[in-house]
Amino acid sequence: MPNYQRSNGHTVSNLTVHIVWSTKYRYSVLQGDIQIRCRTILIQICEAEDVIILKGVVSKDHVHMHLSYRPSQSLSNLVKRLKGRSSRKL
């Protein structure tokens, strides 16, 4: 596995998180074109927020993402951006 350490001034960090969220009532709505669009939206959001996707899967009723993020980023704000922007754009 590649090294995703981030250095800044006098610090070196490697913060990773595994995020899983599901659709309401676990409905199977993330299929076909919607699944592809959801994937591209999440990739765009991560690129804009300087978040590295280590691994990610968009299943028919849930999303798994293993992310590496900066220490200056709040995890709750990151999740809010991922879920909020993707739900509005879908």
pLDDT reported for residue 35: 95
Instruction: Judge whether 63 lies within some domain.
Output: yes
Instruction: Judge whether 9 lies within some domain.
Output: no
Range of the domain at 37: 24-85
pLDDT reported for residue 18: 97
Question: What is the residue type of 29?
Answer: V
Instruction: Judge whether 12 lies within some domain.
Output: no
Domain containing 61 — which CATH number? 3.30.70.1290
The whole-angstrom separation of Cα 39 and Cα 18 is 16
How many C-alpha atoms does 71 have within 13 Å on its Cβ side? 10
| Domains held by the chain: number | 1
The whole-angstrom separation of Cα 58 and Cα 64 is 6
pLDDT reported for residue 11: 84
Instruction: Judge whether 40 lies within some domain.
Output: yes
- Tell me the three state secondary structure of residue 74: coil
pLDDT reported for residue 39: 96
- Name the phi and psi angles at 29, rounded to 5: -105, -15
Instruction: Judge whether 35 lies within some domain.
Output: yes
Tens of pLDDT along the chain (90 residues)? 566 777 777 888 899 999 999 999 999 999 999 999 999 999 999 999 999 999 999 999 999 999 999 988 999 999 999 999 888 888
